[in-house]
Amino acid sequence: MHITYHPITLHKKVPLTISRGTRSQSTNLFIQLTDDNITGYGEATPFSIGDQTQTPETITHSLDQIIEGISLYHPLDRQIIEESLDQIAPCSAARAAIDVALWDWLGKKVGLPLWQLWGLDPQRIGPTAVTVGINTPEGACDRIRRWHADYPDLRSIKIKLGSPAGIEADQAMLSALQSEFHPHDKISVDANGGWTLDNAKTMATWLAERNITYLEQPLPVSANHQLAELKQHSPLPIFVDESCFTSQDIMPLAQHIDGINIKLMKSGGLTEAHRMIHTARACGLSVMFGCYSDSTLSNTALAQLSPLAHHLDLDSHLNLKDNPCCGATLELGRLMPNNQPGLGVTHLVT
């Protein structure tokens, strides 16, 4: 295999603020993997979750190790490639980029979109959420109006809470947004680990009274041991994100949560994402998909598996000024993959 990569800095139309800070741009690394005159594409997006920080420099180092370790193999040598990646132990974002490129290559090799290769039904894909970050009540209302203006058919909205100013600020922001919600909107809340246990209990009850669908990552990862107590007191389903990277994280949490958020950059690619879906379902958990500052490429990759997810939050590319490629498209609020082989991604900037 011939594997190359290059960085592209992507700029957000609207900076996104969560409990850990604000981000307005991201330098992502885009992978090209070629063999048999077929090229597969992948993307590695930097992210930071406490002590789990993957920078462009971290990803670059891992990609160099991967290229040295697997270039002699053919893209169909998936078993030995996976064993080699286990030995190299790259950062998860770099592994995700390679894994997605391998799947894109395979789909093109056999002439099928990945959703069809896996035997899935795209008509089962639900609406994808668009995100409203932490803001003043006025700023949050302005953001949701802009989302509705840009995408009139959207059906799902995720509200970021966990404000450093406290739950009073969270309540003020959500209360202001209530009048902006449309009757058909599915509303969820993500605190990004920004609450204490007591605050999470208070907010879970308060949010349930306002018809919120589910609550994502209410507690920091360091408070995983408090999830059991929170679940006993929460009228809302509890999903974890930062607390769950791969399938190995699911079993220890399964009795204390209701669902997991799968992201390509955390899981290390579609291979592990697929494994996580079935592990979660075997544990009786629901599944949602999420994203970081990903372009259309990565969100299109997860869209291929979206018929298997209960909730979707694949909106990061909708907030980019300079999206480098085309792929899945928003149709009636749903991010729908196309019928092209592999990922179905085109016009990748090189």
Q: Is 216 annotated as a binding residue?
A: yes
> Could you write out the DSSP letters of every residue in 209-266?
TTT---EE--S-GGGGGGHHHHHHH-SS-EEESTT--SGGGHHHHGGG-SEEEE-HHH
Residues 6 or more apart whose Cβ sits within 8 Å of residue 252: none
- Catalytic, 160? Answer yes
Q: What is the spatial distance between Cα 193 and Cα 160, in angstroms, rounded to a whole number?
A: 11
Q: Is 241 annotated as a binding residue?
A: yes
41 and 30 in contact (C-beta within 8 Å)?
yes
Q: Please, how many CA atoms are within 13 Å of residue 42, restricted to the half-sphere of its CB?
A: 29
Out of 158, 186, 201, 263, which one is annotated catalytic? 263
Residue showing tokens 């006025």: 138
- The one-letter amino acid code at 333 reads G
> Could you write out the DSSP letters of every residue in 47-85?
EEETTEEE-HHHHHHHHHHHHHHHTTS-TT-HHHHHHHH
- Catalytic, 231? Answer no
Residue 134, helix vs strand vs coil? coil
Q: Is the sign of the CA dihedral 314, 316, 322, 324 positive or negative? A: negative
Out of 160, 186, 201, 266, which one is annotated catalytic? 160
Beta pairing partners, 53: 48
Q: Is 313 annotated as a binding residue?
A: no
Q: What is the spatial distance between Cα 262 and Cα 19, in angstroms, rounded to a whole number?
A: 19
> Could you write out the DSSP letters of every residue in 295-339?
-HHHHHHHHTTGGG-SEE---GGGGBSS---B--EEETTEEE--S
Element (H, E) at 1: none
Residue showing tokens 């893209």: 75
Cα-flanking dihedrals φ and ψ of residue 312, to 5°? Answer: -130, 140
Binding residues for Mg(2+), by number, are: 190, 216, 241
Q: Which residues are catalytic?
A: 160, 263
